[in-house]
Amino acid sequence: MTKLIQKKSLHKNRYQIQKRVIIYIQISLNNIIITVTDIWGQAILWTSSGAYGFKGPKRGTPYAAQATVRNFIRLLVYRGIRQAEVMIKGPGPGRDAALRTFYRSQISLNFVCDITPTAHNGCRPPKKKRV
């Protein structure tokens, strides 16, 4: 069942059906942070692997990513979210485990996008001094 939510605009009486959400997964070597936003970018839910009891270097493991996503999917299903778009960022080892868990879940993914920043060799270096 889809809920009617009020669209934030100048018009007071406009309603729009909440169809999908955007899930941002930020995976580093030390932690996994998952944030769910609506289509306007406002955060709805968030969690991390440390919130589920993983401490120290265990937070960045693939098992911690799988367990964190599995517990987080329960929250999303409880809230009635069935469709999502996934944006994944970072070079951590839990990327594949997190995506595999999303594919096996009840949530249908519209698309998956990798937004990991890539280096482009930076700015132009200063010219060499002439002696």
CATH number where 23 lies: 3.30.420.80
Q: How many domains does the chain have?
A: 1
Which has the minimum average pLDDT: 2-6, 21-25, 52-56, 105-109? 2-6
Is residue 12 situated within a structural domain? no
What's the pLDDT tens digit per position in 51-84?
989 998 899 899 999 999 999 999 999 888 889 9
Task: Identify which of 124, 128, 115 has the alpha carbon closest to the alpha carbon of residue 23.
Answer: 115
Is residue 101 situated within a structural domain? yes
Q: Which domain holds residue 42?
A: 17-114
Is residue 82 situated within a structural domain? yes
- CA dist 85 and 77 (Å) reads 15
Is residue 100 situated within a structural domain? yes
Is residue 126 situated within a structural domain? no
Is residue 10 situated within a structural domain? no
Is the four-CA dihedral 80, 114, 30, 97 of positive or negative sign? Answer: positive
For residue 44, give Cα distances in angstroms to 23, 40, 106, 109: 10, 11, 19, 18
pLDDT at 15 over 50: no
Is residue 7 situated within a structural domain? no
Is residue 65 situated within a structural domain? yes
HSE-up of residue 35 (Cα within 13 Å, Cβ side): 13
